[in-house]
Amino acid sequence: MLMALFNIVIFPGLLFLGIYALFFAFLDRKLYARLQNRVGPPWFQPLADFCKLLGKETIIPQGADRRVFVSLPVFALAAVTTAFIYVPIWSVNSLFPFEGDLIVVLYLLTIPTLCFFLGGWYSTSLYATIGAVRALTQLFSYEVPLFMAMLAPAILAETWSISGISAYYAEHPLYILINIPAFLVAMVACQGKLERVPFDLPEAETEIVSGTFVEYSGRLFAIFKMAIDCELVVVSALIAAIFLPFHAANPWLGFLYFIIKTVIILILLCLFRASMARVRIEQMLMFCWKILTPLAIIQIIINLLVRGALA
Amino acid sequence: MSDNSKRITIPIGPQHPALKEPGCFTITLEGEKVVNAVVGVGYNHRGLEKACESRTYIQDLYIIERVCGICSHTHSTAFCQGVEELVGVEISPRAKFIRVIMAELERLHSHLLWLGVAAHEIGFDTLFMYSWRDRELVLDMLAMLGGNRVNYGINTLGGVRRDITPEMKELIHKTLNIVEEQNKYYIDLALHETTLAARLSGIGKLSHEDAIKYGAVGPVARASMVKDDIRVSEPYAAYDQIPVKVVTDDHCDVFGRAVVRVLEIMESISMIRFALDNMPDGDLAVKFPRKVPAGEVFSRTEAPRGEDTHYIRGNGTDKPDRVRVRAASEANWHGMQHMLEGDYLADVPIIIAAIDPCYSCTDRAFIVKDLDHGDQRVWDWQSLKRYSVDWYKKRGFDASKIKLAERRI
């Protein structure tokens, strides 16, 4: 009981996730800045931002439903943190693995997006409403290829648990080469999930100010920001667990592997972000449905065939 | 009626991250599509023209240079050559060349600035940072030549105030090589980067006929195949001795405007090189009288944003009777509504940015004389004050207690 509480609150739960998320946010900003030939922020900048936001006044719009407005950021953060518990960190196994946790994690990761939508919707601001609608439209476009790309490796591994998939590919490392298209699809689609350039339409600063978050301030905004940073960690960890199953028997070494893998994924995501312009919503829909989804379907077919050949 | 219920009206501005200066665009949306756009400018009226009338020509130079922060040199050139024409003074060839070099350097920095702003509007911050980094090099050159990064103050009535030494020339050549190298990369990027082309193509359409109809100028007109360039059609300063190639494009959209601008950077670089190498010797400035004879003059220059016109009327004293400035952006505003309608909300910032708008340069107060009803209102200082007091009173603010200094005439 005490151990479980420790796991949930401190490691690898909320506290570790929070600290690692701040580190990730720093790394992301620093890399982005270096790619743009800028100096970039110092290491404590995300923490300083977080603390500063905590101390700021929280303003709730008059027309907004107070209870929903306040609870949405917490919901988002809670969902992301819960998802993290089912992702393997220092070994092939996560803390509480069970058959089907892949589906649970994917759905838990959808909750923040829904929170962004509802948050924007309940803000009763024009910009926020447009941002909210965009967030939902975007959800329908990237979610399908993302799910399919994540499920394709599961088909080959014949298990719906992340730990199971990890273990399978750790045993047959060469099989990950089959999943390269799915890896690419997942990388691109998760850029949409994380609302980063080129898919940062819901908060496109120059178009709709900051979209969903326009009315959020102070503590609530800090929690939302934290949820977004944590989501980045969880998504990278999930991709690392499924597509880069390199593990070590020693938990310390395994933990080091985890950090290296997630950082590599962050670097790839950052490169992606730095080299593109923001697309339009209809271009995003087109791209996701016409290119990513067929690619993911082909991957599933390939994996089914390989599975059949192996059996 | 059912159509109206689906429509929402969203204000872009006066304060908005996409706008660098205040301006209000009231956009009516149907879904994400713009069905109506109302352009509202006029938040930045500074009374520059009136201020010019109560100061001497030399003092006016200071004001005119500050009409626009980006194309300050082109305004002071237009003003100077207008006054010089009124007096009948011919400036030295060397001063003409220095004016051209400054003007082209200014075009370089303005276009690089635009590239960055445009990239930022479509979320391509990397290009934004890169182009502004290279713009710094150009600004350093301008600071070296004029002593300032933005308002160079190099023009004076009858010539220029600073010379270009051989060492400066050497340094400019060196820096231009770097800027040219970088700009080749931007041209490649602008023409071939997929997301950039996807975002810029086909939006903010302004056909060749519309460009003429709405009186578009500068890169906006040139991107619609209107071969409009004062440097060629009415060469001023030393432009008649320097080969000028007008860059045009037939895309008629924001993409075309981007292409025109990045290619114009190349043209400017070669023009600066030519001007530096063929600069004649001579005096910097000729003696200029304090009093300017009565008469009127219309002076035009090609600003980075398009044609810039100045009208000056002298009355035989050392102060002008009337100064009228029409900055380039003012001509481009007229087609804005046409360009915005039918496009997506996501494209509104970039379409606005594509004309490279300068809000405060364009803001003027007009009093339209109603000739049909014989209401020829000439407002003196007192009636203007009374009008403004009433205007604020209607909006719940009583300004009548505020004491204003009486204006000296």
Give tens-digit pLDDT for A179-218.
888 888 988 888 888 888 788 877 777 777 777 888 888 8
Beta bridge partners of B192: none
Number of domains observed in the structure of chain A: 1
| pLDDT mean across residues, chain B | 84
Same domain, B54 and B187: yes
Same domain, B304 and B178: yes
Whether residue A156 lies inside any domain: the answer is yes
Q: Taking a C-beta distance cutoff of 8 angstroms, is the pair A156, A91 a contact?
A: no
Whether residue A3 lies inside any domain: the answer is no
Same domain, B138 and B72: yes
Q: Whole domain around residue B81: which residue ranges?
A: 48-362
Whether residue A89 lies inside any domain: the answer is yes
* Dihedral angle over CA of A42, A46, A51, A57, nearest 10: 120
- Taking 80 as the threshold, does the pLDDT of residue B382 lie above it? no
Whether residue A310 lies inside any domain: the answer is no
Same domain, B268 and B383: no
CA distance A32 to chain B (A): 8
Name the residue of chain A whose CA is nearest to B198's CA.
A279
Question: pLDDT confidence of B2, banded at 50, 70, 90?
Answer: very low
Would you put residue A124 in left (φ > 0), alpha (ψ -120 to 50) or beta? left
CA distance B56 to chain A (A): 43
- Taking 70 as the threshold, does the pLDDT of residue B366 lie above it? no
| pTM as predicted | 0.83
Nearest to B124 among A208, A276, A280 (CB): A276
Number of domains observed in the structure of chain B: 3
Q: Whole domain around residue A273: which residue ranges?
A: 12-305
We report the CATH number of the domain holding residue B286 as 1.10.645.10
Residues in chain B with CB shorter than 8 Å from the CB of A130 are 10, 32, 345
Residues in chain A with CB shorter than 8 Å from the CB of B344 are 280-282
Whether residue A6 lies inside any domain: the answer is no
Same domain, B145 and B33: no
Same domain, B119 and B7: no
Kindly determine whether residue B193 and residue A277, on different chains, have CB atoms separated by under 8 Å.
yes
Whether residue A104 lies inside any domain: the answer is yes
Same domain, B183 and B237: yes
Quick: pLDDT tens for B12-21. 878 877 777 8
Same domain, B291 and B384: no
Whether residue A184 lies inside any domain: the answer is yes
Q: Taking a C-beta distance cutoff of 8 angstroms, is the pair A68, A122 a contact?
A: yes
Same domain, B188 and B260: yes
Mean pLDDT to the nearest integer, A40-59: 90
More confident residue, B182 or A94: B182
Q: Taking a C-beta distance cutoff of 8 angstroms, is the pair B138, B179 a contact?
A: yes
Whether residue A143 lies inside any domain: the answer is yes
* Predicted pLDDT of residue A48: 92
* Predicted pLDDT of residue A267: 92
Q: Taking a C-beta distance cutoff of 8 angstroms, is the pair B329, B361 a contact?
A: yes
Residue with tokens 């360039």: B229
Percent pLDDT > 90 in chain B is: 12
Cα B50 → chain centroid: 20
Name the residue of chain B whose CA is nearest to A274's CA.
B126
Same domain, B291 and B393: no
More confident residue, A180 or A8: A180
How far is Cα A85 from Cα A95, in angstroms, rounded to an integer? 6
* Dihedral angle over CA of A45, A46, A52, A58, nearest 10: 150
Quick: pLDDT tens for B120-161. 888 888 888 999 999 999 999 999 888 888 888 888 888 888
Same domain, B256 and B303: yes
Same domain, B408 and B348: no
* Predicted pLDDT of residue B77: 92
- Taking 60 as the threshold, does the pLDDT of residue A261 lie above it? yes
Residues in chain B with CB shorter than 8 Å from the CB of A201 are 346
